Structure 1
């Protein structure tokens, strides 16, 4: 079986070039705001760098030690309840902005992970473990438990719908 070679996705490079050009053009209009913007961007990068490193480490492990058969077994069509458990609780445990996880999820998808499980992972990320005590203090434990239950249920339903539509 020969795999079709997919064309390279150059959208990231194109976006980088567009942003650089915009910065250069806007520099001549208002250099102070450009430097403030670059400083803010650097602060965001400092904030997400640890999470990025974790995701890159996980991607390296994924590409080095985990093959398509293993992904298919744990997150593919044959994964069953275990796959849903991994997707839902993995989403709850994950931290940082969602877009940081996109490259790893893309790799999982290429290796055979079900789209519905990826959707469930992303949806379940709306439960943030560090924020649960704060939510409990504002809304009470009953509200927090019910809301968390419905978020997990919604993640599961969205994943099932995605699998049915594919």
Structure 2
């Protein structure tokens, strides 16, 4: 077994440094706007922390109880209809901003999940269960059903195309 470590990606640290530097410089020109911006950022952070905690919990479960063979079986090359079903319904049921799910999706990808299933998950997230009753009240049941059907169909095709392109690239 190889003990070679993969190189660390420092782009997050670099971006944080740039943001801190810009905030510091701009504070001298517009302190009131910087303070308002900082407060708005804290409010956003308060909104995403619960979702982020759920995702971290799911990642911990994923790393503790689910191994690569299980991921490959359910979301890998031979997952078939079950993989697509899990992915599409998982995308529909997921909540919060999309970027919150990126770390968990990266872990799934490392453990053998197909790129196309990850794409389908992200695409299917555009259907929001809590918003469906509101959409029905504005646009009607038929419109909502047809739109949701086409979003699911689009998620499938985007994932399918991604899988095909991934095979030709690798």
Structure 2 unaligned regions, length at least 5: none
Q: How does 1:115-154 map to 2 (within 5 A)?
A: 115-154=115-154
Q: Secondary structure at the match of 2:9?
A: coil
Give the alignment's TM-score, normalised by structure 1. 0.97
Give the corresponding residue for 1:108.
108
Aligned-residue offset at 1:5: 3.2
Give the alignment's TM-score, normalised by structure 2. 0.95
The answer to whether structure 1 residue 65 and structure 2 residue 65 are counterparts is yes
The answer to whether structure 1 residue 75 and structure 2 residue 110 are counterparts is no
1:90-144, Cα deviation, whole Å (9 max, x unpaired) = 0000000000000100010000000000000000000000000010000000000
Give the corresponding residue for 1:158.
158
Q: How does 1:14-93 map to 2 (within 5 A)?
A: 14-93=14-93
Aligned-residue offset at 1:19: 0.5
Structure 1 unaligned regions, length at least 5: none
Counterpart Cα distance in 1 of 2:76 and 2:105: 13
Distance 1:28 1:148, change over 3 A: same
Aligned-residue offset at 1:4: 5.5
For the aligned residue pairs, the C-alpha RMSD in angstroms reads 1.0
